Amino acid sequence: MGRPVERGDTPPPFSLETLQGEVLRFPEGFAGRRGVVVRFWSATCPVCEGKLKDLDPVAGRLAGTGVSFVAINVGQDRGMVEAISRKLGVGFPLLVDGSAATAKAWGVQTLPTTFFLGSDGRVVDKLVGDADAAAFEESARRLVAPGGRP
């Protein structure tokens, strides 16, 4: 496992497939964005599905601001992620990290873990574990607020 990615760090690159078969590459696939929110989650995590659903309204409210949202499933196969996607109906891409290689490279130790990356690709904020929707939205809004304040 890699050293945990922390505030101020530039996370390692990744290339992961969406459920639609598109390969998303970080950081080049997000160039020109004001920020990127990356959530690591798993179906084996008791709170992850509910917390994933909680992100959808925030992503909707920040649509058009230049912030991208992605959720990386850790350790499950595509079929399981597809079933959860149908159940939750979230509007942002779900990526499959079946081998957990990306989670390991980023040093993710607890699920869910969410990284908020600025336009330069560095971590602006990080939420680990069962953070509430208000904390998530506050961190996401920092990516588009002048001076990094919501």
Domain positions in the chain: 34-145
Given this model, what pLDDT does residue 36 score? 95
Structure tokens at 14: 């990744």
Given this model, what pLDDT does residue 50 score? 86
Contact between 76 and 96 under an 8 Å Cβ cutoff? The reply is yes
DSSP bridge pairs for 35:
67, 118
Contact between 117 and 129 under an 8 Å Cβ cutoff? The reply is no
pTM here is: 0.93
What is the widest separation between alpha-carbon atoms in the chain? 42
Given this model, what pLDDT does residue 54 score? 86
pLDDT digit string (tens) for the chain, length 150 residues: 778 999 999 999 999 999 999 999 999 999 888 999 999 999 999 899 888 888 899 999 999 999 999 999 999 999 999 999 999 999 899 999 999 999 999 999 999 999 999 999 999 999 999 888 889 899 999 998 865 544
CA 126 – CA 9 distance, rounded (Å)? 11
Contact between 69 and 116 under an 8 Å Cβ cutoff? The reply is no
Given this model, what pLDDT does residue 25 score? 95
- 34-145 — its CATH code? 3.40.30.10
